[in-house]
Structure 1
């Protein structure tokens, strides 16, 4: 169960859409959440990975090139 408070304008738009289409406000709220949940999960996972990456010890490029035999 989920209760969501919406700004008045958003609530009016949602009510009007539901009336015009014969669907419920819950239907459209569920559709919106499902449509954007993957994007939100991806964003926060990427943000977490970036924090991990930035806190990891980095290998200087010159040392990596030398290790791989890519010196000029």
Structure 2
């Protein structure tokens, strides 16, 4: 599902540098970051996983 995210100039620069250094896409790292923190955010807000 397409999604649009706005980054600060610093965030964009750091993400671009990481992607360039590693040969991975910026999208790869954004997905990694979301996956790494989604469960803790669900816990913090009592949202839990549903349908997964």
Question: What TM-score comes out, normalization by structure 1 length?
Answer: 0.62
Superposition RMSD on alpha carbons, in Å? 1.2
Q: Which has the higher contact order (CA 8 A, sep 6+)?
A: 2
Number of aligned residues: 46
Q: Shift of residue 5 of structure 1? A: 0.4
> Superposition pairs for residues 1-72 of structure 1, below 5 Å?
1-45=2-46
Unaligned 5+ runs, structure 2: 48-52
Please list the CA deviations of residues 1-58 of structure 1 after superposition, one character each: whole Å capped at 9, or x if unmatched. Answer: 1110000000000000000000000000000000000000000018xxxxxxxxxxxx
Give the helix-richer structure, 1 or 2. 1
Larger Rg: 1
